[in-house]
Structure 1
Amino acid sequence: MSTIDELPPLREVIATHGLSARKALGQNFLLDLNLTAKIARVAGDLTEADVLEVGPGPGGLTRGLLAEGARRVVAIEKDARCLPALADIAAAYPGRLDVLNEDALQVDWAAELKAPRKIVANLPYNVGTELLVRWLTPATWPPPWESLTLMFQREVAERIVAQPGGKAYGRLAVLAQWRASARIAMTLPPEAFTPPPKVRSAVVHLEALPEPRFEADADTLSRVVKAAFAQRRKMLRAALKGLSPDIEDRLQAAGLKPTDRAEQVPIEGFCALAREITRP
């Protein structure tokens, strides 16, 4: 395994600091520094950006980001056991790494970084989807981030980039693709991690669009999509009846068939329905 800096190999770091991965924290450590550097490069030019990383663990991806020239990295790590290893990285890259021993769900992360901001993370499995939804649904748009480069279970990654008509298409696809471009940049086998997860993983790269693809109120669209896919086997008129007493009329006004199911509706259709629902 090649090295990207003068620091010890990650297996040695883990052994030195006793950093066994904890299932309760959704930890699966990526130890191959070739891969961590490759993931960092997916995020594009980092030399003029501040980067947020969530769940750095022993710091493999952190080292990749810094080695690839990130202007500054702010790493949020809930597990205090990892702090000494991250402190060693901070010492090797003076002034370029700050570590917050916090819960990523509770931190006002944008206040910690200067624009342009990029988020790059091997997300803990237990909070990955919730964090993504939060990043995709800020109060205003454009968001505080320029791009997201995130590792998920392959199944979740496929849901983010899914197109209408398939089982993978759902709320994540609509929220992600409404206001961002999304692609799967690379996949990783279970054996790339310690401990190996039971499923393959994938890195998704999302870039924020200047404006949403179609006009819609964000809160209304989120409610419509959540209700539609919560009962995806039902026809739209049944799944969405709680949103409006005249939902069939509003579906037809939006150009949708009341007998269609959620997975058949493109993003433009959901946005049209959100506009109809907000209309008096």
Structure 2
Amino acid sequence: MPIGYELEPSGMWDRFYRWFAKVSSRYVNGADELPPKEALAGHLAAQRLAYDAVVHVSKQLVVGMTELEAATLLENYLKAHGTERYLHRAFAWFGSHSRFDEYQSYSDYHPSERALQPEHVVILDVSPVVDGYIGDVGYTLCLQPDAELDKAKDFLLQLREDLPKMFASELTAGEIWLQIDERIKNAGYDNVHSKYPHCVLGHRVFRVKPKQGKHLRIGNRSFGWFSLETNMALMKMGLSATLTPEHIGRKLGLWAIEPHIGWAGGGAKFEEILVVEPTRCYWLDDNVPHVLEAKAKR
């Protein structure tokens, strides 16, 4: 699959993939089941652990530290707090990597030896599994004041405010993707999540069988982002599990939503769980770092 997304298909195979993605998004295979109250509490615990990890590691970042070292700190924090399991491996992106510049294939997206500089924007992304429940978050920061990043975060918070209303509307998930894409471009940013595997704005979160020990991971391309166990779960759900421009299936369930935007030299995102029920849509938790930090500045 090529990196990026264009409104017009690039050829026969791209046209076929888009048709297949649209048709298969209707077959949810249980992905849209609404979780019981105790499951929401489980995902909330996993999400809060994920945020604790990224905030803790953000305070340990120093100039000269590599992306690999930052990702290792994230993994060590999770291990010290009771889990070595994950939906996807820990990511750390510095500087232009925070907008996926210089990347030619999905294997390039893994943490590298790039060293942190004072002016670099940093994205930390981690997804622990706690008692089988998945949390998945993204957190953006800079070691020094950055007016462009502050502006980007304000824009992302506006998207955060509007996304539940969009999911509660009659829009399909694919139409939501396209509207967010248009808003990002109209605001003068690049759509960086269009460079994710399947160009996802988000993906479903779910529960896997609780067990101890590490997840297995195979390969280093897009399949290698995720643990083998969660890859198998996602494959079982099919493309209904990914919020792509072609998704026309049911929106009910739990989604990790991750709008990611870029400008010259940097990128920013947030990621957190959105709960979509028949009569309402809401963020699983409003006491998340990017919201609390914005309130503290007012």
| TM-score of the two chains, using structure 2 as the length reference | 0.25
Greater relative contact order: 1 or 2 (C-alpha under 8 angstroms, separation 6 or more)?
2
Higher Cα Rg, which structure: 1
